[in-house]
Amino acid sequence: MCDNDKFGEALRLRLAAVEDIAADAGAMADLFHYSCERGPHSKVLHRTLLAECVRRTLIHAAATTPFYRNSVEYADVISRDNFHSKLYIGDLPVVTRKDLSEAPKDFLAETIETAWISHTSGSSGRPVSIHRSFQEVHFQQAYFQRLIDRTARAVSTRPLILTFPNVYHGVPTPLPSFGKVFVAGVTDDILISDAMRVLLDSYDFKGFNNRISILSGLGFHLAFFTSYLIERGIVPSECGVESLNITGAFSSSRLRKFLTDSWQATVFDRFTLAEIVGGATRFGPDEPFWLDPYTFAEVVDGNDFQTIESGVGLLVMTSLYPFSQRQPIIRYATGDLVRIREHDGERLVAFDFLGKVQNCLAIADDGHTIWVLQSAVLNQILADYPDFRLYEWFSSVHTAFDRSVGSQPLFQCHLCAETDDTFLLSIEVELRYAPHCFPDRTQFLNESIITDFRAASPELDRMMNKKRLRTQLKFVSPGALGDTARFKI
């Protein structure tokens, strides 16, 4: 047995001997912190921690909730001889939003009570309520407070944060913050002017910066706020902001570059969902989303739900004990299509977000699901051209000259069979002008976008090269697609 194996086995036995790993959130935070540092045993430490959390998750779920207790697959996995060391759980069934919505009580642990309820936004289907217990919220608070305290010791002053929250997901779980938080909005004249005042004011809090240094909120809210400042002659890069944290909706590389260039600050793009504790972060314009160390995720094929280690598939996530206790969610199909960027053989490590599955289109090819229309990829391409009509999001802000900044291009997509073996992918996009008035421009857009789309989507390009798919791009006048409600890309 090599040194790493001995270390991993010793650590596994130590963790297994702990009666309840939720009892010391600070120790768990320290262990996960050390597992992310460079060192001879860091990878072994991280894998062992995740394996123990997965083990505790399955045991807790099978013992306390009707859904998992009544499913023979969970009892079978737990009873295996190598269950203590096996991180991979691909033999277990995938849980869907339909499962959660049709029998919500079956997913609630009977041994603890609900303290907070959040809910999904409903953009991917029927909204689902997400229950949190006092126990898990207290654990999360203590866990993140330990990480905050560790970081605070390394800095001379702590930040002031201006955040633009949204109320899509019900009651937020109360978690500690590294800095002092100011709350503002951008959706009407009074809110956005007050947000500008909060940004430009100076403050006097002992141990903290005297100006706002972090902005946080939906990407299109921050982009609109940035444009609003520029229209008033304010140079964002001179405001002292060091970083922007965006989350809650797809943000194109064009939008993130606009924010980065305008503020001369680092943009952190967060991928999260209400159902799962934890998520992933994108640190640069061309970076994938890197999963949080305490988050467990897999990717499955869209046809047979079998786990894959490369390519494109459906994102499946497990909310781990003790971070999640009241409502265990194991191997949950999030409704997101992703491309694997890094996989360690047992779990997803990093991925590219390709769109909500309900907004993507696929065809079958040799028994495999080929995703020929990836909504985030198409949106990313369209965002590079200023010709397209955007969703109007800020109709209550009359003091801004351009109220569409940050909005998404309006388009509709359809896939239909032309023969038994060939398909037509039709994409309709609204322009800011009548296409028949600018035929040369629309011809240029047609050729450029199709070229860009094929370059960005290997799946689309492969099916077109095989003559199994024909792509048709149609431009329509403003308003031709109607007032289609904005959907999550």
Question: H helices of 372-457, where?
Answer: 375-382, 439-456
Per-residue pLDDT, averaged over 192-214, amounts to 97
- What's the confidence (pLDDT) of residue 223? 96
Triad 121, 244, 240: Cα angle to 5°: 145
Q: At what angle do helices 219-231 and 253-263 cross, to 10 degrees?
A: 40
In DSSP terms, 270 is beta-bridged to 247, 281
Q: Confidence class of residue 84 from pLDDT cuts 50, 70 and 90?
A: low
Triad 314, 116, 215: Cα angle to 5°: 70
pLDDT at 169 over 60: no
Fold of 135-296+318-329+340-353: Rossmann fold (3.40.50)
- What's the confidence (pLDDT) of residue 248? 83
More confident residue, 296 or 117: 296
More confident residue, 79 or 467: 467
Q: Is the dihedral of CA 20, 28, 165, 291 positive or negative?
A: negative
Class of the CATH domain delimited by 360-476: alpha beta
Length of the chain: 489
Q: What is the mean pLDDT of the chain?
A: 91
Structure tokens at 95: 């849980």
Q: Confidence class of residue 201 from pLDDT cuts 50, 70 and 90?
A: very high
pLDDT at 464 over 60: yes
Nearest-Å Rg of the Cα atoms of the chain is 24
Q: Cα dihedral angle (207, 209, 210, 214), rounded to 10 degrees?
A: -140
More confident residue, 346 or 467: 467
- What's the confidence (pLDDT) of residue 1? 52
Per-residue pLDDT, averaged over 183-197, amounts to 95
Q: Confidence class of residue 292 from pLDDT cuts 50, 70 and 90?
A: very high
Please name which of 29, 299, 5 lies closest in space to residue 150, comparing C-alpha atoms.
Answer: 29
Three-class DSSP category at 192: helix
Three-class DSSP category at 349: strand
- What's the confidence (pLDDT) of residue 123? 62
Structure tokens at 369: 């699901």
Range with lowest mean pLDDT among 133-142, 144-153, 281-290, 476-485: 476-485
Q: Which distant-in-sequence residues (6+ apart) come within 8 Å of 461 by Cβ?
A: 454, 455
Contact by Cβ (8 Å): 327, 109: yes
pLDDT at 96 over 70: yes
pLDDT at 13 over 70: yes
Count CB-CB contacts under 10 A for residue 7: 16
- What's the confidence (pLDDT) of residue 124? 62
Count CB-CB contacts under 10 A for residue 216: 21
pLDDT at 486 over 60: no
Place of tokens 């086995």: 9
DSSP class of residue 292?
Answer: P
Q: Confidence class of residue 448 from pLDDT cuts 50, 70 and 90?
A: very high
Contact by Cβ (8 Å): 320, 296: yes
pLDDT at 33 over 90: yes
Question: Where in the chain are the domains?
Answer: 135-296+318-329+340-353, 360-476
The 10s digit of each residue's pLDDT in 301-326 is 988 889 999 999 999 999 999 999 99
Place of tokens 């100006």: 211
Burial 125-153 (b: 16+ CB within 10 A, else e): eebbbbbbbebbbebbebbbbbbbeeeee
pLDDT at 11 over 90: no
- What's the confidence (pLDDT) of residue 119? 80
DSSP H or E stretch at residue 235: none
Per-residue pLDDT, averaged over 254-261, amounts to 95
Q: Is 340 exposed, middle or buried (0-12, 13-18, 19+ CB in 10 A)?
A: buried
Structure tokens at 56: 């505790």
- What's the confidence (pLDDT) of residue 467? 95
Q: Confidence class of residue 487 from pLDDT cuts 50, 70 and 90?
A: low
**In whole angstroms, how far apart are CA 489 and each of 54, 242, 312?**
31, 28, 17
pLDDT at 122 over 70: no
The 10s digit of each residue's pLDDT in 379-398 is 999 999 999 998 878 889 99
DSSP class of residue 187?
Answer: S
In DSSP terms, 131 is beta-bridged to 117
In DSSP terms, 474 is beta-bridged to 428
- What's the confidence (pLDDT) of residue 170? 57
pLDDT at 485 over 60: no
What is the rounded CA–CA span in Å between residue 405 and residue 391?
Answer: 9
What is the rounded CA–CA span in Å between residue 43 and residue 325?
Answer: 26
Structure tokens at 103: 């029998």
The 10s digit of each residue's pLDDT in 218-257 is 999 999 999 999 999 999 999 999 999 998 889 999 999 9
Please name which of 27, 22, 32, 41 lies closest in space to residue 278, comparing C-alpha atoms.
Answer: 32
Place of tokens 């689309």: 460
